[in-house]
Structure 1
């Protein structure tokens, strides 16, 4: 019994130190809030946020695009007409991933189409657009 208690007491400092900077970050996984921005001709049009695992590699961050709900930056410029279910941009379109003020990655394209949900009125990228963007990413 004394041996078991002694062994448990030795584990307490180790368990408490898991949050210490001496240990690698993969021992204590946190969250990172990513900001996805859609720009047209260097002006931000839409933003969306998503939390991801703190140690997620940057290339894998593109996999969460399907989960992002985008909000227009200038709500006045976007129609509230529920019959408008798509919004297409042509020109210098950039999608970038930021964490706080640091740009982690970006991709450029000449066109981008967002889709609006009929039930929630939220804007997102449909799977066809996401597949096209991933194809562009793989060509880099």
Structure 2
């Protein structure tokens, strides 16, 4: 009798392993998704930044990490003027988009966008007032 229980157990293990993720609910497999935030002006990428988020995070909540993103110029063509410049304002067709790998997850368009320079890192970020304005635009869609 004892042998039967062991053999049943040994036979069930490969079956459970072959089922993989379907045996264990997906919410138990919490991973990270690396998001790529890009700022485009007139269809040209000027600044970009990265941020990891929970793999199960809904797309509309990804905008909540926007204040944590530090943006860097994408190339030497992107001008940020003088080293002592503390703000950078883009006007025209300004788009912020969120990408994961090659997939665009979401984007928002605005006519103006102002970033602030960090004195410590020399990178750019959006202040809370600008983030709140963008969230208001998102809520209007």
TM range (shorter): 0.7 to 0.9
Unaligned ranges ≥5, structure 2: 1-8
Structure 2 CA distance for aligned equivalents of residues 134 and 40 of structure 1: 19
Contact 2:118-2:124 within 8 A present in 1 as well: yes
Q: 1:120 Cα deviation (Å)?
A: 1.9
Distance in 2 separating the partners of 1:24 and 1:117: 42
Task: Kindly tell me the number of residue pairs found equivalent between the two proteins.
Answer: 131
Shift in Å at residue 21 of structure 1?
2.5
Deviation readout 1:105-134 (Å, 9 max, x if unpaired):
000000001110122211111111101000
Q: 1:20 to 1:93 in 2, by over 3 A?
A: same
Q: Which residue of 2 aligns with 1:137?
A: 138
Q: Which runs of 5+ in 1 are unaligned?
A: 1-8
Give the TM-score of the pair, scaled to structure 2. Answer: 0.82
Distance 2:97 2:37 in 1: 6
The answer (yes or no) to whether the contact 1:65–1:125 under 8 Å persists in 2 is yes
Shift of 1:66: 0.7
Q: How far apart are the structure 2 equivalents of 1:127 and 1:46?
A: 18
Matched, 1:20 2:24: no
- Over the residues paired in the alignment, what is the CA RMSD in angstroms? 2.5
